[in-house]
Amino acid sequence: MVVRGILAGRANGAEGFDMAVGSPGGAEFGRIAREKGLKAALDWRDSPFGDYGSAPADASKPAGAAW
């Protein structure tokens, strides 16, 4: 039995993976993740945007943030 949409989902997932790995930052992200771990790779990825997840625990949070 074929589940509706499963083939399209597999195709889209493969395309997304190819775009991520083939992008200029994708290879660097993978290298950092292998060498230093996923958290370090995510911090590297998010650092240009000032992501609050990589901010120090005592850093100010945006107004209205539930966390």
Residue type, 37: G
Q: Residue 30 in contact with residue 22, Cβ under 8 Å?
A: no
pLDDT-derived band at 6, boundaries 50, 70, 90: confident
- Under 8 Å CB-to-CB from 32, ≥6 apart: which residues? 40, 41, 44
Out of 13-22, 25-34, 44-53, which region has the weakest mean confidence (pLDDT)?
Answer: 13-22
Distance CA 56, CA 37 (A): 19
Taking residues 32-43, report their average pLDDT. Answer: 91
Domain boundaries, the chain: 8-48
Given a cut of 80, is residue 40 above it in pLDDT?
yes
